[in-house]
């Protein structure tokens, strides 16, 4: 399973938690019977979404800042609309517009490249992102028949019950497609987590349905307050989970920014140094160097050399898991915590052998096939084989400073090169 699919599954499971709470009646009724607890819970999404906006600003991602701000406004709107006495029908219409327009607004927001937070371009981008919301609201006010045709695709909108608009499904599908195909790896974790923001919106449609049912029963004051409390609980829980998911994704992005090598995608030297400081005894280290890398760069260019680095890093990670780090240049370090020297040597030799057999096709000489939004590159490049030399060393039983272990592994690496390369040398 890819990292993108793994995190998408985790975020989706988390976003469904409020739905489970809704169906666990004792837990739901317990929260509703404690007004003080509900009032405290209402502040959690406000704090969380404010942190999302602030952290987006701090990591120079203004799109995250504006997303957090828009979602904070959406939460305040959903929480306070009925309490202001504006009526359940207007609330339903507003949620319909949010469901249909918010995914489109987010697509527009993230389609445009990063700009300074306070600039004319940023203001124009935000106004453009809000245009779907303004368009649907204008249609509802001045052309209700056109609005119904656009939002419900020709079918009659519901009168006494809630149905998710067809346009909401379509715009959500468009956003998910955008997340899947967009190529900005730096923002992808946040976009994946953002995909779950539409679940709280759908849950709020359900909460509105509860209020409408009460309204149809005559607007009895106690029943109305009970319905509003139910709506507040579902809105609060939904946006609490959403804020937690977005904050986790931002921290994940920050970790990648600090600890992930931007070229190869594996953890960098700083991450390795922090990992090595935690090792005491019972570990082995392997130093891996790509053979004839300088000659390869001189022959085929640095762009092809970067592709080789990515391929080798991917191969090491596929066979050795999350113990691979880029040490620098064309060198990688592999940490075997809790493994013996023999195990580390065996695993490295197996990985080296499978890499030797792997075909690497040079990008130069290939050409792009015309047609479609995503043209494919033909397989016209030359095929080469990449090999590595490896030095392995283990800490003494009573523990050795990791500097000594790296030094011994590095010495074994150069011995492997002197013996003809494409081999593993261990203590």
Q: How do residues 194-236 score in pLDDT, each as one tens digit?
A: 888 777 766 666 666 666 566 556 555 666 666 677 777 878 8
C-alpha distances out from residue 369 to 17, 209, 382, Å: 45, 51, 18
- Single out the catalytic residue among 96, 234, 304, 330: 330
The residues, ordered by sequence, that sit 6+ positions from 318 with a Cβ below 8 Å of its Cβ are none
Q: How are beta strands 383-385 and 359-361 bridged, if at all? A: antiparallel
- The answer, as to whether pTM is greater than 0.85, is no
Task: List own/partner pairs for 35-39 with CB under 8 A and 24 or more apart.
Answer: 35/229, 38/229, 38/232, 38/233, 38/236
Look-up of token digits 């052309």: 143
Nearest to 279 by CA among 325, 218, 224: 325
pLDDT tens digits, 314-347 = 999 999 988 999 999 999 999 999 889 999 999 9
Annotated domain spans of the chain: 3-259, 269-426
Say whether pLDDT at 279 is over 90. Answer: no
Give me the pLDDT at residue 33, please: 79
Pick the CATH number of 269-426 from 3.40.50.880, 3.20.20.140, 3.30.310.80, 3.30.70.270: 3.30.70.270
Tokens of 75: 């939460």
Q: Are 404 and 283 in contact (CB under 8 A)?
A: no
Give me the pLDDT at residue 97, please: 86
Say whether pLDDT at 367 is over 50. Answer: no
Give me the pLDDT at residue 47, please: 95
The residues, ordered by sequence, that sit 6+ positions from 159 with a Cβ below 8 Å of its Cβ are none
Cα 194 from Cα 314, distance rounded (Å) = 27
Tokens of 101: 């327009």
Please say if 330 is a catalytic residue: yes
Nearest to 252 by CA among 197, 324, 190: 190
Tokens of 26: 């004792």
Look-up of token digits 């709280």: 200
């Amino acid at each position: 399973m890819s990292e993108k699919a793994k995190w998408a599954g985790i975020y989706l499971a988390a976003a469904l938690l409020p739905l489970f709470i809704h169906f666990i009646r004792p837990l739901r009724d317990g929260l509703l019977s404690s007004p003080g607890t509900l009032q405290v819970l209402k502040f959690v999404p406000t704090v969380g979404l404010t942190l999302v906006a602030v952290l987006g600003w701090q990591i120079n991602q203004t799109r995250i800042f504006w997303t957090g701000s828009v979602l904070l406004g959406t939460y305040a709107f959903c929480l306070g609309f009925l309490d202001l006495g504006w009526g359940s029908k207007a609330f339903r219409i507003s949620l319909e517009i949010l469901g249909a327009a918010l995914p489109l607004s987010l697509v527009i927001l993230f389609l445009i490249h990063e700009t300074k937070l306070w600039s004319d371009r940023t203001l124009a981008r935000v106004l453009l992102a809000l245009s779907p919301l303004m368009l649907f609201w204008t249609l509802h006010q001045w052309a209700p028949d056109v609005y119904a045709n656009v939002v419900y695709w020709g079918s009659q909108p519901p009168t006494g019950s809630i149905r998710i608009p067809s346009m909401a499904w379509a715009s959500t599908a468009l956003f998910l497609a955008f997340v899947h195909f967009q190529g900005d790896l730096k923002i992808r974790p946040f976009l994946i987590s953002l995909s779950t923001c539409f679940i709280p919106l759908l849950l709020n449609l359900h909460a509105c349905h509860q209020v409408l049912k009460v309204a149809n029963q005559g607007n009895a004051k106690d029943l109305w307050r009970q319905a509003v409390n139910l709506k507040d609980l579902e809105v609060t829980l939904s946006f609490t989970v959403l804020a937690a998911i977005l904050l986790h994704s931002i921290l994940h992005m920050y970790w990648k920014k600090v600890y992930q090598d931007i070229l190869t995608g594996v953890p960098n030297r700083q991450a390795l140094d922090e990992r090595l400081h935690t090792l005491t005894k019972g570990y082995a280290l392997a130093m891996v160097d790509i053979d004839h890398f300088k000659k390869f760069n001189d022959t085929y260019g640095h762009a092809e050399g970067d592709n080789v680095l990515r391929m080798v890093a991917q191969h090491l990670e596929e066979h050795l898991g999350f113990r691979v780090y880029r040490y620098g240049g064309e060198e990688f370090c592999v940490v075997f915590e809790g493994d013996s020297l023999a195990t580390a040597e065996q695993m490295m030799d197996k990985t080296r052998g499978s890499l030797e057999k792997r075909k690497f096709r040079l990008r130069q000489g290939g050409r792009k096939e015309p047609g479609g939004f995503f043209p494919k590159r033909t397989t016209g490049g030359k095929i080469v084989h990449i090999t590595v030399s490896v030095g392995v060393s283990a800490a003494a039983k009573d523990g050795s400073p990791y500097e000594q272990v790296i030094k011994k592994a590095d010495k074994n690496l150069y011995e492997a090169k002197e013996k003809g390369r494409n081999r593993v040398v261990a203590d």
